[in-house]
Structures are given as C-alpha cells and as structure tokens.
Amino acid sequence: MDGNRDGVGSADGDGRGRGDGAADGGGDGGRRGERAVRVVVTGGAGFIGANLCRSLVESEAVGAVTVLDDLSSGRRENLAGVGGVELVEASILDPDALAGAMRGAASVVHLAARPSVARSLADPPATHEVNATGTMRVLEAARAADVAQVIVASSSSVYGPRATLPSAETHAPAPASPYAASKLAAESYALAWQRSFGLGVLALRFFNVFGPLQPAGHAYAAVIPAFAAAALAGEPLPLDGDGSQTRDFTYVGSVVALLVDAVERRLSADTPVNLAFGSRRSLRDVISALESLVDRPLALERRPPRPGDVPHSQADTTLLRSLFPDARPVPFEDGLAETLRWMRGELAARPAARGR
C-alpha cells in the first residue's frame, strides 16, 4: 500500500520542490532555487508537526513537504490552507507507504508517535509498536531511500525522576513509564543507525512543548492547553497533584525555528540533544501567568498526582547552545499569550470541541 495521498497541497515525485502555493508565499517563488529539497514530516498533522509544516514551506531551502500521518491523534484540518504540503494518510508501520513517501526526499523529521505517559500506561504494547518499532521502520526506509538526514523526536521523559537538575545528555536515562522507554528506544535506534549505516541523525529530546494547535478536549491533554481551555470556558483548572511540579516549558515556535534550522543546515549529532532552554516553572507559576493574562483569579479542581509523571524537569542547554548558538527562544509569557489567543479562536469556532 502506498498510503492514501491527498492534495492538502502538492509535491512532485522526484524530491525537487515545485514551488507553488504557500510554499512560495510572499512572492519568493521565483527565487526558490534548484537546490530546494523535499522534506518528509511523519506525524505532520499533529500539534508540533503542523506548526513545523507551516514554517518549512516558508524556507527557501525547502521545495516541498510530504506529511505521513495516520491521523490517529493529528487532524487533517491542522494542515488546511498550508500550500506545498502533501498529506499521505498512512501509518509509519507500513513499509510501502514509508518507501513511497521517502523516495527522493533529502530530510525526514520523524514526529509520529503515540504521545503521552498516561496512554502508554493504559496500553504499553501499542506505545512500543508505534514509537519503537515504528521508528525503526522509518530509519530503515530512510536508509533504503538514501535520505541524508533523519531528525527524531525523543523526550525529556527518558531522564525519569532525577534528584539533580538540570538534566544533561551525559546523565544516565531512567525511564519511568512505557512511553519514556519507547522514546529511549527510538533515539537509541536512530543513533545506532547513524553508527552502523552512516545515516545522518539528530535525536532531539523535546521537553514540554506548548502553543497553538495543541488540543485540550481529551483525556490525555497536556497541562497548558487543559488549563487554557478551562480558564477561557470559566471552569476550574484541572490540577494534578499540588502544582509544585516544575517543567521546562518550550513554546512551539521556538521548537519549530530550531527544527527548520537543523533541516536547512542538515545537522546531525552523535548523541541525543536536549531541546529546551533551561527554564523551570511550576504549574502554580503557569496558573499565575494565566491569571495575569485573563485578569482574574482562577479556581482549581484538585486531582491526585498522575502516575508515571516526573516531579521536576529542566534541560541542561550546553549542547543545544553549541549546536544552535543563534537560537532565541520565545519568552514563556509571550508564548502563553499566543496560545490563549489561538484557543479563544478555537473555542469560538468549535465550542463543543474545547480546542480539540
């Protein structure tokens, strides 16, 4: 099976950019050079993926983008109106679909996964299948297609509950959930494919990413969209535990800017790399920032701590800074304001969905 291809945008088959639609937005289409390449984004209909696609099509180095996504947690509508993007509706577990999507591509950004610690506790084998086996299939397909670079989304959860912070890539991982173990497997496979077969690999450990397109209305929602949707709906904020947990929250715009830079420079690295900027905020801090933005106190609905969640997380940024010395993260409060602005629009357009 070659997947169910669909014209969210368009891409030609030989990996060279055609440069039509929004891929050439802003009238720069004529300048998009012969060397503009095709990029495959697995999981590109999801939260981070769809934000990434919007930025990739603006890059002069990128001629076209192919998204491979089974739409299990992603949404076709996330890519609506993003020209220069072709959506192949298929699973990363399908080797034929992968081979078709990767033919002639220069880079792959592999984001497809069953995200969430809680989902992995509910069904560990399903998490392993997609996150570990699926990643290996992506790597095999990339190797067979002579793709130059595969960027793999790993997770800060691989560190587990650490006594000392910040977490550096040299610290021993200690996964505390099937999800974390599957992400450690994914990055290990990626680096092994680099060492064994010379595939260019960049394994990035994402921390807590937030921003527009991140859904709120489901049981496994991340904390910021869940808080933002509740705040805007006038409902109590669902708080797991006492709110003292801290996270290195990273705005999706900062993550995407870095991913595009990595694609443009064909970056690879021989160890995993933290992708966060070393800040640490408690959930109580997030609630205070939201209260400032909505200009009223927010009620809380206290719930028990979530099993498998680590109490604190913060990235050591030394390696990231050496690879991306020009990276300038969007300040947390600006990212939160932008997230609220987007969520307001979502709730107005689809009140029943609560941002889903």
Ligand X SMILES: NC(=O)c1ccc[n+]([C@@H]2O[C@H](COP(=O)([O-])OP(=O)(O)OC[C@H]3O[C@@H](n4cnc5c(N)ncnc54)[C@H](O)[C@@H]3O)[C@@H](O)[C@H]2O)c1
When the beta carbons of 249 and 324 are compared against ligand X, the nearer one is 249
Of 92, 105, 226, 330, the residue at the interface with ligand X (CB under 6 A) is 92
- In the set 45, 138, 202, 330, which binds ligand X (CB under 6 A)? 45
Contact pick of 43, 166, 253, 272 for ligand X (by CB under 6 A):
43
Nearer to ligand X, 23 or 209 (CB): 209
Minimum CB separation of residue 19 from ligand X in Å reads 26
List the structure tokens of 165: 């912070």
CB of 98 to ligand X, least distance (A): 9
- CB-based contacts of 299: which residues, under 8 Å, 6+ apart? 236, 237
Please state the closest distance from residue 170 (CB atom) to ligand X, in A.
Answer: 20
What six digits make up the tokens of 111? Answer: 């984001």
Q: Is 209 in the site for ligand X (CB under 6 A)?
A: yes
Nearer to ligand X, 138 or 347 (CB): 138
The CA distance from 66 to 71, in Å, is: 14
49 binds ligand X (CB under 6 A): yes
Half-sphere exposure (CA, 13 Å, Cβ side) for 287? 19
> What is the full DSSP assignment across 322-345?
HH-TT--PPPHHHHHHHHHHHHHH
Which residues contact residue 155 at a Cβ distance below 8 angstroms, ignoring those fewer than 6 apart?
179, 180, 183, 205, 206
Q: Which of 72, 133, 282, 318 binds ligand X (CB under 6 A)?
A: 72
Least distance from ligand X to the Cβ atom of residue 297, Å: 27
Does 247 engage in binding with ligand X (CB under 6 A)? Answer: no
Selected binder of ligand X within 193, 206, 251, 332 (CB under 6 A): 206
Taking residues 254 to 293 in sequence order and writing x for each that binds ligand X by CB under 6 A, - otherwise, the string is ----------------------------------------
Which H helix or E strand runs over 346?
helix 332-349
Are 191 and 272 contacting, i.e. CB atoms less than 8 angstroms apart?
A: yes
Per CB under 6 A, does 79 bind ligand X?
no
| Residue number, 36 or 153, with CB nearest to ligand X | 153
Within 113-142, the residues that bind ligand X by CB under 6 A are 113-115, 130, 134
Count residues binding ligand X (CB under 6 A). 30
73 binds ligand X (CB under 6 A): yes
Minimum CB distance to ligand X smaller for 19 or for 115: 115
Buried b (16+ CB within 10 A) or exposed e, 146-157: ebebbbbbbbbb
Residue type, position 79, single letter: L
- Name which of 93 and 233 has its Cβ closer to ligand X: 93
Cβ distance to ligand X smaller for residue 36 or 141: 141
Of 111, 158, 181, 283, which lies in the binding site for ligand X, with binding defined by CB under 6 A? 111
d(CA 77, CA 67): 13
Q: How far is the CB of 47 from ligand X (least distance, A)?
A: 4
Q: What torsion do the CA atoms of 167, 172, 177, 181 make, to the nearest 10 degrees? A: 120
C-alpha 348/C-alpha 335 separation (Å) is 20
Restricted to residues 155-184, the positions that interact with ligand X (CB under 6 A) are 155
Closest approach, Cβ 270 to ligand X, in A, equals: 21
Side-chain half-sphere CA neighbours of 242 within 13 A: 3
Concatenating the DSSP letter of every residue in 105-140 gives: -SEEEE------HHHHHH-HHHHIIIIIIHHHHHHH
Output the CA torsion 20→24→30→34 (10° steps): -80
Applying CB under 6 A, the residues found at the interface with ligand X are 42-43, 45-49, 68-74, 91-93, 111-115, 130, 134, 153, 155, 206, 208-209, 222
